Amino acid sequence: MSDHTPPSAKFEQLGMLRKAIVQKQMGTLSFTSASGRHGVLHLSVGDIIGDQTCIEHLSALLSEPVTSCSWRESTIENTEHWMEATHAISQAISNIHWNTSALLALKLLFSKLPPVRIRMVPIHRYGYKDGISYLMLHHQSLKTDNFTLLDFLNDTSESKELERRIKVLVLGYCLGLITAIPQQHNEMTKNKNSQVGIAARILRRIRGM
């Protein structure tokens, strides 16, 4: 994959794929990658339609930004060839190696997300081999109030480790395992922390009397 990415290229396909899977939509996702590769991906009620070749289409879809991407709802004819999204995406991501510009673009994308929750699932059952990175992500999210993905990504400076972490984020995001914390919950947490802080200051003053 070339390191020269067109200015119009973005990773907007992640949001479209996530929506189709989580909402169990039926239709076709068409895309043109930054390198000019065209592809289509057929989905039916959250599953990926096709045989093993659909992994190649998924890898192409996820491996670089796209200059265009669209979703069209349509009825998919009955087929005996299909794969669960969990296994298909796990296999596709395992085969991907992003260049530096793509990694930085993905890091920026995930860094802009609001505080999130990480759903704990047995990733190894999806056929994804790097369950340790996902466990790290989930564990860190439990330890940090208002956890953001930037906290997870800024915890390493090595490119190989960054790619491992980006991979589990793409996997978790596309499968709906990473979800934004409702704004109301954020406000309640802020108020709670504020009240704790005020109580601590009052207690210190009383002790100092």
In a domain, 205, yes or no: no
Domains: count for the chain: 1
User: Among 12, 85, 18, which residue's Cα sits nearest to residue 49?
Assistant: 85
Choice between 119 and 193, residue whose per-residue pLDDT is larger = 119
| Dist. CA 148–CA 117, nearest whole Å | 9
Instruction: With respect to residue 193, please indicate whether it lies within any of the assigned structural domains.
Output: no
Whether 193 shows a pLDDT value over 70: the answer reads no
Q: Is residue 148 part of a domain?
A: yes
In the predicted model, is pLDDT for residue 204 greater than 90? no
153 in Cβ contact with 108 (< 8 Å): no
Phi, psi of 148 (to 5 degrees): -120, 160
pLDDT at 185 over 80: no
Q: Which residue has the higher pLDDT, 156 or 154?
A: 154
Tell me the mean pLDDT in the region 116-134: 92
Element of type H or E holding 45:
none
> In this structure, is residue 114 part of a structural domain?
yes
Residue 1 lies in a domain: no
What is the structure's pLDDT at 164? 95
Range of the domain at 75: 13-183
Bridge-based pairing of strands 38-44 and 47-49 is antiparallel
* CA angle (174, 86, 150) in 5-degree steps: 35
The model carries a pTM of: 0.83
Q: Does residue 207 form part of some domain?
A: no
pLDDT at site 182: 85
Distance CA 201, CA 209 (A): 13
Predicted local distance difference test score (pLDDT) of residue 5: 64
pLDDT at site 67: 94
Q: Is the pLDDT of residue 139 over 50?
A: yes
Inside any domain, residue 199:
no
Task: Tell me whether residue 102 is in a domain.
Answer: yes
